Amino acid sequence: MKNFIENLPKAELHLHIEGSFEPELMFKIAKRNNIKIPYDTVAEIEEAYKFNCLQDFLDIYYQGAGVLTSEQDFYDLTYSYLQKCANQNVRHTEIMFDPQTHTERGIPFEVVINGISKACKDAEEKLNISSFLIMSYLRHLSEEDAFKTLKESLPFKSKIKAIGLDSSEKGNPPSKFKNVYKASVKEGYIPVAHAGEEGNADYIWEAIDILGIKRIDHGNNSLQDETLVKEIVKRNLALTVCPLSNTALQVVDDLKNHPLKKMMELGLKVTINSDDPAYFGGQVNKNYIEIQKALNLTKSDIYELAKNSFNYSLLEDEKKQQYL
Ligand code: ADE
Ligand code: ZN
Q: CATH number, domain at 15?
A: 3.20.20.140
Which of 256, 252, 294 is closest to 275 using CA atoms? 252
Q: What are phi and psi of 218, to 5 degrees?
A: 75, -95
Percentages of the chain per state (helix, strand, coil), in multiples of 5: 55, 15, 30
Distance CA 233, CA 254 (A): 26
User: In whole angstroms, what is the distance from residue 204 CA to residue 212 CA?
Assistant: 10
Phi, psi dihedral angles at 108 (to 5 degrees): -65, 145
Residue-level pLDDT at 311: 97
Cα of 29 vs centre of ligand 2, distance in Å, is 23
What are the tens digits of pLDDT across the range 142-169? Answer: 999 999 999 999 999 999 999 999 999 9
Binding-site residue positions: 14, 16, 194, 275-276
Please give the distance of CA 231 from its chain centroid, rounded to a whole number. 23
Gap between the terminal Cα atoms of the chain: 20
Provide the pLDDT for residue 170: 97
What domain count does the chain have? 1
The predicted structure's pLDDT at residue 323: 87
* Catalytic residue flag (residue 197): yes
Q: What are phi and psi of 275, to 5 degrees?
A: 70, -85
* φ, ψ (nearest 5 deg) of residue 230: -60, -40
Catalytic residue among 18, 71, 152, 197: 197
Question: Do β-strands 162-166 and 190-191 pair in parallel, antiparallel, or remain unpaired?
Answer: parallel
Q: Looking at residue 141, what DSSP letter applies? A: S
The reported pLDDT for the residue numbered 131 is 98
Stated as kind and residue range, the H or E segment containing 127 is helix 109-127
Q: Which residues are annotated as a binding site for Zn(2+)?
A: 14, 16, 194, 275
In a mutational test of the pocket of ligand 1, which residue from 58, 63, 280 has the highest number of ligand atoms less than 8 Å from its CB?
58
Q: By three-state DSSP, how is residue 226 classified? A: helix
Kindly give the distance from the C-alpha atom of residue 231 to the centroid of ligand 2, in angstroms, as a whole number: 23
Q: Provide the residue range defining the domain that includes 10.
A: 2-323
| pLDDT of the residue at 324 | 74
DSSP 241: E
Angle at the Cα of 319 (from 99 to 79), degrees rounded to 5? 40
Question: Does the interface predicted TM-score (ipTM) exceed 0.95?
Answer: yes
Q: Which residues of the chain have pLDDT under 50?
A: none
- Nearest Cα residue to 162 out of 187, 138, 196: 187
pTM: 0.98
Within 10 Å of residue 256's Cβ, how many Cβ atoms?
12
d(CA 198, CA 221): 8
What local confidence, expressed as pLDDT, does residue 187 receive? 98
